[in-house]
Amino acid sequence: MKYSGFWKRLAAACIDGFVVHTGVVIINQLLVKRLAFALFSSVHRDGIIAGSNSYRFMSEFTLELIVNFIFIGMYFVLMESSKLQATLGKMALGLIVVNGDNERISPGRAIGRYFGKYLTVTTLFIGFILCGFTRKKQALHDILSGTYVVRKGAQKPSSLPSLQNDAGHPLEEAPILYADPSMLYAGFWKRFFAYGIDGSIIYMLTSIAIILYQDIIIFIIRISRLFFVNDPYKLKGLLDLMSPSNMGLITSAITLIICWVYYSWMESSKVKATLGKMALGIVVIDENYERISFGRASARFFSKFISSITFCIGFIMVAFNSHKQGMHDQISKTYVINKNRLSSMVHYQHKRQSE
């Protein structure tokens, strides 16, 4: 398998940058600015709240960030996980993205690769420069997502599979997992990067929710002034909901609710994982290797506050115990497992019980 070098990937990135920039400019002009004007112009025109100009600017800026973030993410994720296995830039240079088995990557892995690029940027682009020095020409986001950029047509077929169970995992693997738990349980850094992805998603959801909350209050004020009362003093109660002190409390409440629903609902769903965990290939299970209930997922979420008030020692514990459990895992009796190891483990356990 011929891995693509630094300069070829840089040229592909430049082409993709031009494509993405063009798309962002078009979307901002045709969609974002019109949408922002429709949502926020009433505030600017009527001067309902103090500092309406700054409010409108920040709202437009936040909306642009969210829309651009989604557009760029869709471009990379959809194209790299498609049959093409490449963005337009990579196609122009004859490159494709593959996983460790030289196959097309899943949308979940493509999402993980995309979010990994933001972590690569925070290293002052050293994460990108890495691909010029690593043996398999991997940048930091490639290493985190388990992907490779190779020349199209140069990837070699994967080796013949060993004896497998119905889930496609080797039956010989499970005994090894008993002997070495580190292969089964997700480690500190994998969980840390999953948390970073989830944090970005929650920030985006919270920003949207706060903008909607502000617009609903402004709409109610305008309707009240139009049909019921036009005395600002009598509208003081509604105006107070937009004051900085109250907005701080409301923002905290909205963030808490979104975090609770996001983590508890997704970790207790059939996928057993948040989007960040899905991207890194890990799931949350109970002591019987089964899906956790919404109640247990809620207990796990609120136990994270205990892990936090210990100066985050409750999170750091993951790196130092055999089952890779944080304090919140131990309280809720849950485990974070590598998904690709789980099926063979369950199959082997059932086999032992039936013997």
Instruction: Give 137-151 pLDDT, tens digit per residue.
Output: 998 889 888 899 999
Q: Calculate the dihedral angle through the C-alpha atoms of 190, 132, 115, 109, rounding to the nearest 10 degrees.
A: -70
Question: Token pair for residue 136?
Answer: 């398999």
Does 241 have pLDDT greater than 80?
no
DSSP letters, 212-279, are HHHHHHHHHHHHHHHHT---TTTTHHHHHTTSHHHHHHHHHHHHHHHHHHHHHHHHTSTT-S-HHHHH
Least confident of 127-131, 151-155, 308-312: 151-155
Per-residue pLDDT band for 256 (boundaries 50, 70, 90) equals very high
Q: Residue holding tokens 């709202």?
A: 59
Least confident of 131-135, 305-309, 351-355: 351-355
- How much is the average pLDDT of 6-23? 89
Q: What contacts 354, CB < 8 A, 6 or more positions away?
A: none
**pLDDT the model gives residue 272:** 92
**pLDDT the model gives residue 39:** 55
**pLDDT the model gives residue 332:** 93
Angle value at C-alpha 207, between 28 and 44, nearest 5 degrees: 65
**pLDDT the model gives residue 70:** 87
Does 24 have pLDDT greater than 50?
yes
Per-residue pLDDT band for 162 (boundaries 50, 70, 90) equals very low
pLDDT one-digit tens code per residue, 90-120: 988 889 999 888 889 988 889 889 988 888 7
Question: Token pair for residue 225?
Answer: 């002034």
Cα–Cα nearest to 103, from 179, 159, 170, 184: 159
Within the chain, strands assigned E span: 95-98, 148-151, 282-285, 335-338
- 127: amino acid identity, one letter: G
pTM for the complete prediction?
0.58
**pLDDT the model gives residue 170:** 47
What are the residue boundaries of the structural domains of the chain, listed by start? 6-160, 182-354
pLDDT one-digit tens code per residue, 36-84: 655 555 444 444 444 445 455 556 677 777 888 888 999 999 999 999 9
Do 292 and 334 meet the contact criterion of CB atoms below 8 Å apart? Answer: yes
Higher pLDDT, 123 or 210: 210
Strand duo 282-285 + 335-338: pairing: antiparallel
Residue 148 forms beta bridges with which residues?
98
**pLDDT the model gives residue 166:** 45
Does 163 have pLDDT greater than 90?
no
DSSP letters, 3-39, are B--HHHHHHHHHHHHHHHHHHHHHHIIIIIHHHHHHH
- How much is the average pLDDT of 180-203? 83
pLDDT one-digit tens code per residue, 324-341: 999 999 999 999 998 877
Query: How many C-alpha atoms does 184 have within 13 Å on its Cβ side?
Result: 21
- 264: amino acid identity, one letter: S
- Secondary element (H or E) of residue 328: helix 327-332
Collapsing DSSP to helix, strand or coil, 173 comes out as: helix
**pLDDT the model gives residue 63:** 72
